Amino acid sequence: MSASNMSDPTLLRGLTQRRFGRRDALRLSGLAGMGAALAACGVQGQGTEAPASAEPDAVAKFWNGKVKNGTLNFAGWPLYMDPKRPELKKFTAKTGIKVNYQEVIQEMGPWFAKVQPQLSAGQSIGYDLMVITNSFQFTQFRDSGFLAPLDHSKLPNYAKNAGEAYKKEAFDPGNAYSIPYASGMTGIAYDESKTGPITGLADLWTNPKLKGKVGMFSDIQELANFGLLKSGVKPADSTEDDWEKAAQELKKQKADGFVRNYYDQSYIEALGSGEVWATQAWSGDIFQKNLSDNTNFKFIIPAEGGTIWTDNFTIPVTAKNPVDAIMAMDFFYEVANASTLAEYINYVCPVPAAQADMRARAAKLSGDDKDALLDVADSKLVYPTAAEYAKLHYYVSFEATSEQQKFQKTFEPIVLG
């Protein structure tokens, strides 16, 4: 696989946002080095494997006797929180727990490879809380027994305030091991002044106005998702036969002359320059592009469906301060705290009520400050509607490297050929 298509998607999506380099790792996280990294460290670990959904006795066994210690070591991503850490300062003031927050996660593949040896040996990784993506590595973390099963009795704010879409995630049934930190969407962005209204994926295959003006992603996971959805298949439910059918759809789109190019993050520049008029797009990029450049590009979830990715709070099974960690997780589901976090990062907020809080805070401001906060509060890219959530799907999930390799071989030639 070429370097251009093997790069970790975390390095591709969201570069126009404040979190430089922060992007969903997807199911193909770290393809450039993942195979070697996982082979080197032994992906299955040496501990007891955990089921996909934690058993009640496992929850009781883990949490029995655990107490608050007053310390929390938190592993996060670069620029995925206000550098002044207002939420963490508020958490310390409220609970007395001192937080050591470190931006140590750059990509999912290398992060798993780094911590796997300690976790396999039953040793602390030095962190009690980490934000990881619903990626291939999430499955490895979970199935290797590396994630603590969550005691949902300790998460009342999550139960009360989380959006329904974040309580039924396919990659973690019942949120047994994780709850969302933030999420984002993949859909279609377009310049309506050139294209007129666009409603779905069919436009990218058949709309005569778009011939030679469509941008598709070079990331094969994202590319495949659109092919699968165009075929009427939910990516998370897809089979190898479905992959072949989706590949044929994508090959036809290319052969019929609709695709201008297959883009990495440069798709946003191609849209801005008019090189493409409609393109696969990541929600946060379009929000930031319109905000920073005063453009008016539209972003839609296609009628056939789009995809959602999620970054998740998780507790390593060897955490020394798990009670402090789960207290912090629930703290971020207080409406006011979810609101200020979303104001800074501009990703999809998993707490719907944060939107009203944001609008209420904006009402107390004036001028540019008020307008800027309302831009976030009113954005469907930060607060999708229920109808939009209903059209969002999770990605293909690979349980084995062989499946992943078959997937690559199926879709890679479309980009490289």
Q: What is the DSSP string of 13-41?
A: TTTTSSSTT-----TTTTTTTHHHHHHHH
Look at residue 330 in the predicted model and tell me its pLDDT: 98
DSSP letter at 49 equals P
What is the Cα Rg of the chain in Å?
21
Q: What is the mean pLDDT of residues 382-403?
A: 86
Residues 6+ apart with CB under 8 A from 51: none
DSSP letter for each residue of 351-414: -TTHHHHHHHHHHT--HHHHHHHHHHHT-TTTS--HHHHTTEEPPP--SSHHHHHHHHHHHHHH
Q: Is the per-residue pLDDT at 409 higher than 70?
A: yes
Look at residue 399 in the predicted model and tell me its pLDDT: 73
CA 354 and chain centroid, separation: 19
- Give the whole-number percent of the chain exceeding pLDDT 70: 87
Higher model confidence: residue 141 or residue 221? Answer: 141
CA distance 19 to 76: 11
Q: What is the pLDDT of residues 303-315, one digit of tens each?
A: 999 998 899 999 9
| Tokens encoding 59 | 């929850």
Q: Is the per-residue pLDDT at 26 higher than 60?
A: no
Q: What is the mean pLDDT of residues 395-417?
A: 88
The answer to whether the CB of 309 falls within 8 A of the CB of 26 is yes
CA distance 115 to 138: 13
* CA-closest candidate to residue 310, choices 237, 375, 389, 377: 389
* Cα 22-28-31 angle, rounded to 5 deg: 90
Q: What is the pLDDT of residues 211-228, one digit of tens each?
A: 999 999 998 888 999 999
Look at residue 53 in the predicted model and tell me its pLDDT: 58
* Cα 257-9-413 angle, rounded to 5 deg: 40
CA distance 321 to 359: 36
| Tokens encoding 372 | 């800027």
Q: Is the per-residue pLDDT at 39 higher than 80?
A: no
Q: Is the per-residue pLDDT at 181 higher than 50?
A: yes
Q: Where are the beta strands (DSSP E) in 211-330?
A: 214-217, 259-263, 278-282, 298-300, 306-314
Q: What is the mean pLDDT of residues 32-46?
A: 32
Q: What is the mean pLDDT of residues 284-295?
A: 86
* CA-closest candidate to residue 224, choices 201, 240, 190, 247: 247
* CA-closest candidate to residue 355, choices 161, 131, 164, 214: 161
CA distance 147 to 306: 29
Q: Which of 11-25, 70-84, 265-279, 400-414 has the lowest mean pLDDT?
A: 11-25
Q: What is the mean pLDDT of residues 162-174?
A: 89
Higher model confidence: residue 241 or residue 6? Answer: 241
DSSP letter at 200 equals S
**What is residue 152's three-state secondary structure?**
helix
End-to-end alpha-carbon separation of the chain, Å? 12
Residues 6+ apart with CB under 8 A from 285: 13, 14, 15, 16, 17, 189, 265, 268
Q: What is the pLDDT of residues 368-389, one digit of tens each?
A: 999 999 999 999 889 998 888 8
Look at residue 139 in the predicted model and tell me its pLDDT: 86
Phi/psi of residue 306, nearest 5 degrees: -130, -170
Q: How many CA atoms lie within 13 A of 327 on its CB side?
A: 22
CA atoms 221, 261, 380, 90: torsion sign: positive
| The model scores a pTM over 0.75 | yes
Q: Is the per-residue pLDDT at 2 higher than 50?
A: no
Q: Is the per-residue pLDDT at 29 higher than 70?
A: no
List the alpha helices (DSSP H) in 144-282.
156-161, 192-195, 201-206, 220-230, 240-255, 267-273
Q: What is the pLDDT of residues 49-96, one digit of tens each?
A: 444 556 769 999 999 999 999 999 999 988 789 999 999 999 999 999
Q: What is the pLDDT of residues 249-260, one digit of tens each?
A: 999 999 999 999
Q: Provide the β-strand partners of residue 100.
A: 73
Give the Å distances, CA to CA, from 251 to 226, 239, 267, 384, 417: 12, 18, 20, 31, 10
Higher model confidence: residue 408 or residue 135? Answer: 408
Higher model confidence: residue 396 or residue 302? Answer: 302
Confidence of residue 350 (pLDDT cuts 50, 70, 90): very high
Higher model confidence: residue 47 or residue 129? Answer: 129
Confidence of residue 285 (pLDDT cuts 50, 70, 90): confident
